[in-house]
Amino acid sequence: MYQELIKKYENELKDNIVPFWQNHCIDKEFGGYFTSLDRDGSVYDTTKYMWMQWRIVYMFGELYLNPLYRKDEFLSIAKEGFDFLYKNGRNDKGQYYFALNRQGVPAIAPYNVFSDCFAAMGAAVLYKATHESIYKKAANAAMNSYITRVASENPAMQWNKALSGKQSYLAHGEYMMMANLGMIMDDCLGGNKYDKELDNAMDMVLNKFYQPAYKTVFENILPDGSLDMASCQGRMLNPGHVLESMWFMLNAAMKQGDSKKTEQKVCAIILSTLNLGWDKKEGGIFYFMDALNKPHIELQHDMKLWWVHNEALIACLFAYKSSRNPIFMQWFKKVDNYTWSHFKDTDYPEWFGYLNRAGTPTHLLKGGKWKTFFHLPRCMMMCSKLLRELEEM
């Protein structure tokens, strides 16, 4: 039933996306990766942003672990990236910088906790692939740094630019990633060391950031768990983040044998988010929205981004697998049609990342400060995996 879709997703990954990054991202002179890649793969900036670097380590590690895609060179690419980042990427407290220059000299301070987050992911998958202790040590250290910083009142630490007059918030992104990390760490390292963090993150997302009155998940809530509806930050909605977060929740609930009640709640949130976020005039899913439909402070709020649609596709298939409600397969096909017809570059490998509201590319780049070898290949892998599972059910 799903063979054509499976073939489409798997062939795109194997024939276009992976070769593009394998051929263009590796810095053979200094180590690490180039992520600022133009439409044809040429390098237009050599800054090495830590999120993007560690995500490449993670994805090549995942490719190596998957029998459908495994090649020895994928493991080599991931290990060589780790060596560069582990040697150059940390300060004396083990926190990962936000960026290095090409040679590996720190360029931007470790103000952002997600550098630690993705370092944990990258190191963990290498441990699963090799069982070499250095990777387990690095994964646990980065994870513990992430946990400690998220739990603090000031995750940005001394690099926080905010003064006393700025409102502080709890951030949905930090907790959704904690849930995903908990799953990855336990899977890759073995055991259930991070079950507490996983359970707490799921509780925060589903019972604090999710607001039943609005039928969606807020990006920011006040430290006491209440909403701040008087500010743009407090009213911010990010449909792509919600959809990504919800497939993390479903993945955890299904693997833990959690109650059907949790799965039903998550599926309902996915459906309400799709209905809310879909641009009924131009198609596609909005980047940012305002809970009260007031003007949004982010000028790019009505753009259509690749990763939002990648995560929506995964969320639709998870929800369909869990509920078998045909509405989710209908949504999958709707998002699939928009995504493949607007983001795929028909002249060069890899996909565009940024479209205006009408669906026209605003940037022709294939990688940069925020786009790398991660959301798109993960989408291809996860969708083909879920479609294969559905084919066998």
Instruction: State residue 320 phi and psi, 5-degree precision.
Output: -65, -40
Q: Are 13 and 376 in contact (CB under 8 A)?
A: no
Which pLDDT belongs to residue 257? 77
pLDDT of residue 288: 98
* Predicted local distance difference test score (pLDDT) of residue 393: 83
pLDDT tens figures, 102-152? 999 999 999 999 999 999 999 999 999 999 999 999 999 999 999 999 999
User: Which of 107, 108, 20, 13 is CA-nearest to residue 63?
Assistant: 13
In a 3-state reduction of DSSP, which class is residue 106? strand
pTM score, whole prediction: 0.97
Domain ranges of the chain: 23-150, 170-362
Give the pLDDT score at 258: 66
**Could you count the other beta carbons within 10 Å of the beta carbon of residue 194?**
23
Residues in the chain predicted with pLDDT less than 50, given as ranges, are none
The CATH architecture assigned to 170-362 reads Alpha/alpha barrel (1.50)
Amino acid at 252: A
Place of tokens 């045909």: 326
**pLDDT tens per residue, range 26-68:** 999 999 999 999 999 999 999 999 999 999 999 999 999 999 9
User: Quick one: pLDDT at residue 264?
Assistant: 96
CATH number of 23-150: 1.50.10.20
Strand (E) positions, the chain?
Answer: 36-37, 43-45, 48-49, 99-100, 106-108, 170-171, 210-211, 216-217, 220-221, 236-237, 289-290, 304-305, 354-355
